[in-house]
Amino acid sequence: MIALNGRSSTGLEVRIAAMLCYALGFVSGLIFLAVEKNSRFVKFHALQSTLLFGSLFIINVAFSFIPLIGWLLNLLLVPLSFVCWIACMLLALQERKFMVPFIGPIADRESARF
């Protein structure tokens, strides 16, 4: 675990800001990407939230256009997305820099540029 005492440029504690990056899915991720200036930890979680939940949203919409099979796949995707959402918020609140497969390494690399 990384000790991240201090505040982000939003005025919130770093761990609270990282958790809030996931609160509204990719929307809150985009907001924190635009607002956060100092904390690379918060930027990482904001970018990971944006990429993860943006991708899940697009997949969900695509599946909804496929009759029967797409709807059944959505029955699996929606609960898995919910579990992932809760896990991401809890792990960010515990000040862990975890990486979601495929998306986490991209977020880690690109968060340095913001």
Specify the DSSP class assigned to residue 25. T
Residue 1 banded pLDDT, cuts 50, 70, 90:
very low
For the whole model, what pTM was predicted?
0.88
> Residues 36-59: pLDDT tens digits?
988 999 999 999 999 999 999 999
Average pLDDT taken over every residue of the chain: 91
C-alpha–C-alpha distance, residues 62 and 71, integer Å: 10
How distant, in Å, are the alpha carbons of 17, 50, 109 from that of 7?
Answer: 9, 22, 22
Block residue for tokens 């898995």? 80
Range 74-102 burial, b when 16+ CB lie within 10 A, else e: beeeeeebeeebeebbebbeebbbeebee
